[in-house]
Amino acid sequence: MGPGAGVRAYSACSVTDMRKGIAGLAAVAQEHLRQPSCSGAVFTFRGRRGDTIKLLH
């Protein structure tokens, strides 16, 4: 199971507050990554300790 061909993946380079929900992560994608959150891309966010990630598609 994986993303289809041609799907772009973006990763937030800084630590993300893992308490954020879908709306908060979408705002981070739009403000900091400068990509529309509804573009069909996969956005990866990492927690401070590095043991937690969240994906937004």
* Rounded-to-integer distance, Cα 49 and Cα 21, Å: 18
* Rounded-to-integer distance, Cα 26 and Cα 29, Å: 5
Q: What is the pTM of this model?
A: 0.75
* Rounded-to-integer distance, Cα 35 and Cα 53, Å: 19
* Rounded-to-integer distance, Cα 34 and Cα 25, Å: 12
Per-residue pLDDT of the chain (57 residues; tens, 9 = 90+): 676 778 888 887 888 888 988 899 888 888 877 777 778 888 889 988 888 889 888
Position 26, amino acid: A
Domain boundaries, the chain: 9-56
Residue 27 has which token pair? Answer: 């705002």
